[in-house]
Amino acid sequence: MSEFKKHILIIEDEVDIAELLEFNLEKAGYQISVSENGESGLDKARNLDPDLILLDLMLPGIHGLDVCRILKSDQETEATSIIILTALGQEENIVKGLEAGADDYVTKPFSLKVLLARIQSVLRRGKVLDIDSEKSVHIENISIRPRTREVMVDKRKIDFTFTEFEILYLLASHPGWVFTRYQMIDKIRGDNYPVTERSIDFQIVGLRKNLGDAGNLIETIRGVGYRFKSNDT
């Protein structure tokens, strides 16, 4: 195999799903390793240093959420990207997984086309979640200049409150990323600008209203949080 291939570790106990993933991801040009439970998955994650992990939640032995927490609390594996694979309706587990450090989630049954797009999107993100607070953002018909705190939509200037601006800049800086309300609070909270979980929803309403038609770019991920639309979502 080429050393330049991205390496994906699949941690999945259902043999049919694991084989389906392995076949299609190898066909897409990835190097693949497979584990059928959390214990061996942790060992391979540490020994093989994959670029990305596809992590099922309902694993025998160590639960997938615990696998995620362990990997994200270990300095050797904390930067490894993780996409959670979960059954439809497990909103609470999705939230817990994202809060534990997972980069994204894909629900079962899943579309291989969507999964490949999500994998490509996460791999492009790299291993850093930091925001360059000086960098301007130009996406769709929106331009954001953090130095002047200026937002232009279709060349029309729009004024936002401090919190609205911070939320918009966070989401637009990471198109396609799913942020839980807790993650958003952690990123924008300051001593002079207290933000509660419920107020995030209120701020999103204000954001969408002020953005007009562009407000549709901010998607609600039911039971999880919000994300800014990208070509991969």
CATH number for 148: 1.10.10.10
Residues 56 and 110 in one domain: yes
Inside any domain, residue 189: yes
Domain shared by 16 and 115, yes or no: yes
User: What pLDDT is stored for residue 231 in this prediction?
Assistant: 62
In this prediction, residue 227 carries a pLDDT of 92
Cα gap 83→115, rounded to integer Å: 9
| Same domain, yes or no: 164 and 98 | no
CA pair distance 108, 131, nearest whole angstrom: 31
208 and 101 both lie in a single domain = no
109 and 23 share one domain = yes
Q: Is 130 inside any structural domain?
A: no
Mean pLDDT, residues 69-83: 91
Any domain includes 233: no
Range of the structural domain that residue 100 is part of: 7-125
Decide which of 125, 154, 189 is a domain's last residue: 125
pLDDT interval class at 56 (50, 70, 90) = very high
Task: For residue 225, give every residue at least 6 positions away whose Cβ sits within 8 Å of its Cβ, in sequence order, or none.
Answer: 95, 98, 178, 179, 180, 181, 183, 184
Q: What's the pLDDT score for residue 102?
A: 87
Is 103 or 14 the better-scoring residue by pLDDT? 14
What is the count of structural domains for the chain?
2
- Do 63 and 156 lie in one domain? The reply is no
173 in the same domain as 86: no
Asked whether the predicted pLDDT for residue 127 surpasses 50, the reply is no
The CATH number of the domain where 107 resides is what? 3.40.50.2300
Please say which residue of 102, 125, 148 terminates a domain: 125
Q: Which two tokens stand for residue 132?
A: 């360059």
CA proximity to 233, closest of 137, 143, 123, 104: 104
Please check whether residues 121 and 219 belong to one and the same domain.
no
Cα four-point dihedral sign 226, 227, 232, 233: positive
Residue 36 in any domain: the answer is yes
CA atoms of 9 and 136, how far apart (whole Å): 35
Same domain, residue pair 121 and 142: no
Q: pTM here?
A: 0.65
Q: What is the dihedral of CA 112, 114, 119, 123, to 10 degrees?
A: 150
DSSP state of 215: G
Range in 9-13, 69-73, 123-127, 128-132 the model is least confident about: 128-132
Strands (DSSP E) found in the chain = 7-11, 31-35, 52-56, 81-87, 104-108, 137-139, 142-145, 150-153, 156-158, 179-180, 218-221, 225-228
> Is residue 132 in a domain?
no
Predicted confidence at residue 128, as pLDDT, reads 44
The verdict on 146 and 62 lying in the same domain is no
> Phi/psi of residue 183, each to 5°?
-65, -40
Please indicate, yes or no, if residue 207 is contained in any of the structural domains: yes
Q: Is 143 contained in some domain?
A: yes
